[in-house]
Amino acid sequence: MLLGDLTWTDLDPASGAAARTLVVPVGSVEQHGPHLPLDTDVRISSAVASGVHDRDPSLVLAPALAYGAAGEHEGFPGTVSLGHEALRAVLVEYGRSVCRWASRLVLLNGHGGNVTTMVEAVTLLRYEGRDVAWTPCIPPPAVTAGIPLDAHAGRIETSLMLALTPHLVRLGAAAPGATGRLRDLLEPMRTGGVVSVSPNGVLGDPSGASADEGRRLLDGTVTAVADAVRRWEPDASTGRLA
């Protein structure tokens, strides 16, 4: 069920509607190198959410929350960041409103820069007694074996986008960026942003990406997230689904 297609009576217990879990993809509009579209995170989290909904049609799928905390990418045109405080307020108020009628809320996060904000918002909502959790939209280790891991706009995201919207992937412009260990890049990125370590905005290497690989990565991610939603075991300290 798609939230935007329903009426209020479809979700009203007084009309016989069952209690529902709302699934919300959360992304970011930010640079993804010269070869991937700015809304890559939104498209990936939305595709995962759609796949999870297909596995369990009793879930209600909401429109994506497209903007996130992406200040580290603001050295590149096109990036739009709400920042931590604004995103936290949006997620908290969203959860408070939704939980007036939904039995559960799960946020599917597609952007690493949202994680700290996600944890704080979900932790507060759970403290207030609301059944809210979150999970990242990242492929599990079982399906990334043999693929060089990357942090941003590398092979994994490029493969996923080749599977989802190949017409938006500019493979001719794809090139490696900063390929060092993420932990070694974090400190300079905190002060100078991604542009200070990678002039093209890529953290990784998109070489070798393919649509077939992307479909396998997407299927593995959907399976992992669907299983986590079904089990519903939020971590006590972070609210992340196990």
- CA-to-CA distance for 138 and 120, rounded, in angstroms? 20
- State the greatest distance between any 2 C-alpha atoms of the chain, in Å, as a whole number: 57
- CA-to-CA distance for 101 and 107, rounded, in angstroms? 16
Q: Where does the pLDDT of residue 19 fall: very low under 50, low under 70, confident under 90, or very high at 90 and above? A: confident
- CA-to-CA distance for 139 and 127, rounded, in angstroms? 29
Q: pTM for the complete prediction?
A: 0.95
Does residue 163 sit in helix, strand or coil? helix
Question: pLDDT at position 115, please?
Answer: 97
Residue 146 scores a pLDDT above 90? no
Contact yes or no for 218/48 (Cβ under 8 A)? yes
Question: pLDDT at position 148, please?
Answer: 84
The proportion of the chain whose per-residue pLDDT surpasses 70, expressed as a percent, equals 100
Domains, the chain, in order of start with CATH, read 3-231 (3.40.50.10310)
Question: pLDDT at position 180, please?
Answer: 85
